[in-house]
Amino acid sequence: MTEKWTHPTVRRGTIWWTMQSVALGGLTLALVFIALWKPSTGTTIAAVAALILGPLLIFMAIKQIKTLRHEYRYSDEDL
């Protein structure tokens, strides 16, 4: 079974944005865990900021992957 050919820039961009999303998700979970484990004002603020920014940045990364696929498509492809 062969996979559909993907433009190298799309493949690299997809890997980059996916790894960034995984790292942001892990950072968000780590900050929330730290805030619950040893609560203080600083860790609570960092956890709340991570809970707000983490999903937002992950959503933007998914949107960027879709933009890459659209930008590097060929006329014979239908997305």
Gap between the Cα atoms of 50 and 44, Å rounded: 10
pLDDT in tens, 39-58: 888 888 888 888 888 888 88
Gap between the Cα atoms of 26 and 30, Å rounded: 6
- Residue 20 resides in a domain: no
The residue range of the domain holding 37 is 32-71
- Residue 79 resides in a domain: no
Global pTM exceeds 0.85: no
In the chain, count of helices (H) and strands (E)?
2, 0
Number of domains in the chain: 1
- Residue 1 resides in a domain: no
pLDDT in tens, 58-77: 888 888 888 877 776 665 55
pLDDT in tens, 24-39: 888 888 888 888 898 8
- Residue 64 resides in a domain: yes
Q: What is the pLDDT of the chain when averaged over all its residues? A: 81
Instruction: Classify residue 28 as exposed, middle or buried by CB count within 10 Å of its CB (0-12, 13-18, 19+).
Output: buried
